[in-house]
Structure 1
Amino acid sequence: MKTASIAAGSIAGTKLHALASAPMEGARTISANDHIQLALIGAGGQGQGDTKTALEVPGVKLVAVSDCYEGRLEHSKELWGEDIFTTKRYEEILQRKDVDAVLIATPDHWHKQIAVDAMKAGKDVYCEKPMIHLYSDGPEFIETAKSTGQIIQIGSQRVSSKIYIKAKELLESGAIGQLNMITAYWDRNSSIGAWNYTVPLDASPETCDWPRFLGTAPKIPWNAEHFFQWRKWKAYGSGVAGDLFVHLFSGTHFITSSKGPTRAVASGALRYWKDGRDVPDVMLGIFDYPEGFNLNLRVNFVDGGEESEGFLFAGSEGTMEISWKGVSVHRSPREKGPGYTVNTFTEAMQARLLAQYDKKYPPQHTGQSYQNEEMYDVPPGYSDSYDHFANFFEAVRTRKPVVEDAVFGFRAAGAALLSNLSYERDAVVHWDPVAMKIVEKG
């Protein structure tokens, strides 16, 4: 919708809007024979949180859980009932005929194999971000989705958010003119936020399937920190780029309709958490987009304040800011005149320049007053995660395309992992966002 501020003449005031709070199609009445039977693979913090949200969508039932730690299987029964089937072997879940879809929330290095196995077993897949751990994961993800016809949605929920949908509409309508720069950050200042997750007191090779957890990772002796705090090591996770940058890439690509950057450079280091981890706790990245804008990203795990996130789109006619609560557009009239230094010339020259300027840019008056600020807020308690799951389950029922398929997921994760590649190489790296491939410059 083009508002008055978008068509701005003279500018004044602020206008507030409430984003629509209509329920998703997934919230419609569901018949008894239309229920979706869901299984969770990877029952850590993200997996349990995702499942609780997924089960809020009408017509969804959890029937099975897989995890490599016995304590989480036991807790799954505490949460969802003694009749829940539990196993350390996800293959047993894929063999079950009563499972329609799986939710994958394992460490990153397991995403591809489990998703591929699930699709080949006839299961639809919701896979947490980042979709890939290695660039070689992407093509197999995409090809398997295509060859099996299974639904796969990647779990960067922003592409289902009412906030991001509105931001996309505003940008396309010309609300801020020509986009030239996006600046985004996600900072934290807590130990848990820095991936120092709790290790249970009974952690041992007896309660944890260590060989299965390692999978394709280097074979090392039992290590409880690696098992429960896996994001701190690149053998299992993808660092701040895969954990947090990928959210910002997903949002950027959705709002701008871009397939991704062509050039990237990143810097960072282990500035504070020197606890054995091998991925940075501070990272900054700069990315060039073929559409004509730059993206600047930052993560700082010890920022001296509360957890915070910022997302600012700068255009030729204004700025658009996204927060957890909504989206706002700010516009200020560009200063006009012959230049800052005109008053350093003779009065005769000043008069000639001002006359010339007035002739070229005659004063305009429309008789109207427009808002310089538009704010769009979501209702209290709004959950984009709920909407993302509702979109997924609606696709499972209708077989219509999801909002974040494997191609979108590969492009978002592929762009994010450019940061790690640049950091490791200490060099600029290049990416073909259409072909989804690293471009090696000779």
Structure 2
Amino acid sequence: MLLDSLSAKATNSPNDRIRIGVIGPGSRGQELIRQFLHLPGNEIAAVADIYEPRYAQVDKLVGRSVPHYKDYRELLARTDLDAIVISTPVSLHAEHAQAAVRSGRPVYCEKALAFTAGECRDQVKTAEAGGHVFQMGFEYRYAAWVQEGVRRIQAGHIGEPTHVYAYWHRNNDWRRPVPSPDPDKKLEHLINWRLYRETSGGLLTELGSHHIDIANWVFDEPPARVTGTTSIVRWQDGRTVGDNVQAIFSYSKGRRMVFSSITDNAEMGNQLWVYGTEGTVQFTIEDATFYYEPKKPKAAPAGAEVVERGITTGASYSPRGEMPYRGEGERLSTPNAEDPTLACCRSFLDCVRNGKKPVADVRIGYHSAIATVIGNQALYEEKSYAIPGLT
């Protein structure tokens, strides 16, 4: 049965189907709808969006006419909805998610949790006071190969993890097409909200929040400090967020997480490397591979000579061990691993039905979001800032 805290009408939905209202059925919202459509026992019952062309897109996706609203408050006023999905621009997450919580329904909120430090704290306070399921859209928390990889890391398979290097490199402008004419640029700012500081945390928030969350998971704590830099190096098109970022997050015991995102070269793609004292793990969006440190050769005595490629030289100049490892490594086997977003949506429905605590709850959302909020301040000012914790 659905949570007792839901309204009487909601808990009496036909066949105990979870009736979902989606606030913000844009590109990400429609991807979530696709995944929910693959799962039994739920129904996309209503959507809200200020951009009216989304209504027809949702109808086509769902295969029927879905009730729609331009004002999200009208959607929340319905008494027949069992759960709310928030997939609007990050600058609106706090307003929409808090209103949804106060309406008495479980909430699935896309990352990042909020746009400002104050909103991050308010989101946690509101969600925990509401007492309902509140799940973040961190799909890699639900990816089988990431879960197993982190389990092995925490079991000591690569020794002590000390560094995380994360990349999200692309060779495109991160821009979406805008219908014309658009003389006052309203559609431009509505559709390409990710490109403007008024509505977006840029590459660090929209992409890096996933990697920060995995680093927090690996290190079992949030970062304490951040420094970094950003610039617009290629896409001189009026955007106000950087088209590249480099950030360093500091954890206890001197551990570090380094994040890089660029938009003019896709060589590294989207991947994250965890370096430990005895090995390394590479995570991608499809798999995880373990590499292990070779046994260290016995150190040559002081003043000894070695021969490398026919050249006699001092031991301190030996390049042995400096070449990158080119072996195959140990790729994790996670049979029948499903799409992470599908797994994330499946878990949300299970939490709603059974009152379970989400794997990616509001506090996990806080620690990633506050890191990006303070991180962006550090990037634009090229300074180092402490990241506030959550009491």
TM-score by length of 1: 0.77
**1:189–1:307 Cα contact (<8 Å) kept:** no
Instruction: Write the distance in 2 (CA, Å) between the matches of 1:388 and 1:75.
Output: 23
**2:226–2:384 Cα contact (<8 Å) kept:** yes
36-45 or 422-431: which moved more? 422-431
AA partner of residue 294 (structure 2):
P
Name which one, 1 or 2, has greater alpha-carbon Rg: 1
Instruction: Write the distance in 2 (CA, Å) between the matches of 1:315 and 1:128.
Output: 31
Structure-2 residue corresponding to 1:324: 285
Instruction: Write the distance in 1 (CA, Å) between the matches of 2:206 and 2:257.
Output: 17
1:382 is aligned to 2:338: yes
**1:168–1:256 Cα contact (<8 Å) kept:** no
How high is the sequence identity, in percent, across the aligned residues? 26
1:408 is aligned to 2:371: no
AA partner of residue 66 (structure 1):
A
Structure-2 residue corresponding to 1:251: 214
AA partner of residue 37 (structure 1):
R
Q: How does 1:14-93 map to 2 (within 5 A)?
A: 33-93=15-75
Structure-2 residue corresponding to 1:285: 247
The residue matched to 1:250 in structure 2 has which SS?
A: helix
Instruction: Write the distance in 2 (CA, Å) between the matches of 1:77 and 1:199.
Output: 21
The residue matched to 1:61 in structure 2 has which SS?
A: strand
Counterpart selection for 1:197 from 169, 173, 176:
176
- 1:373 and 1:90, CA in 2 relative to 1: closer, same or farther beyond 3 A? same
Structure-2 residue corresponding to 1:294: 256
The residue matched to 1:319 in structure 2 has which SS?
A: strand
Q: How does 1:123-272 map to 2 (within 5 A)?
A: 123-191=105-173, 194=174, 196-201=175-180, 223-258=186-221, 260-272=222-234
1:84-117 residue CA offsets vs partner (Å, 9 max, x unmatched): 1111111111011111111111111110011111
Structure-1 residue corresponding to 2:347: 391
The residue matched to 2:275 in structure 1 has which SS?
A: strand
Instruction: Write the distance in 1 (CA, Å) between the matches of 2:154 and 2:254.
Output: 15
Structure-2 residue corresponding to 1:420: 376
The residue matched to 1:72 in structure 2 has which SS?
A: helix
AA partner of residue 300 (structure 1):
I
1:288-310 residue CA offsets vs partner (Å, 9 max, x unmatched): 1115421111000111x467112
**1:164–1:255 Cα contact (<8 Å) kept:** no
**2:163–2:257 Cα contact (<8 Å) kept:** yes
The residue matched to 1:330 in structure 2 has which SS?
A: strand
**1:37–1:99 Cα contact (<8 Å) kept:** yes
- 1:276 and 1:317, CA in 2 relative to 1: closer, same or farther beyond 3 A? same
Structure-1 residue corresponding to 2:3: none
Structure-1 residue corresponding to 2:316: none
Give unmatched runs, 5+ long, in structure 1: 1-30, 205-220, 346-370, 436-442
1:203 Cα deviation after fit: 6.2
Instruction: Write the distance in 1 (CA, Å) between the matches of 2:78 and 2:104.
Output: 10
**2:35–2:342 Cα contact (<8 Å) kept:** yes
AA partner of residue 338 (structure 1):
A
1:326 Cα deviation after fit: 1.6
Structure-1 residue corresponding to 2:318: none
376-385 or 172-181: which moved more? 376-385
1:378 Cα deviation after fit: 4.0
Instruction: Write the distance in 2 (CA, Å) between the matches of 1:200 and 1:78.
Output: 20
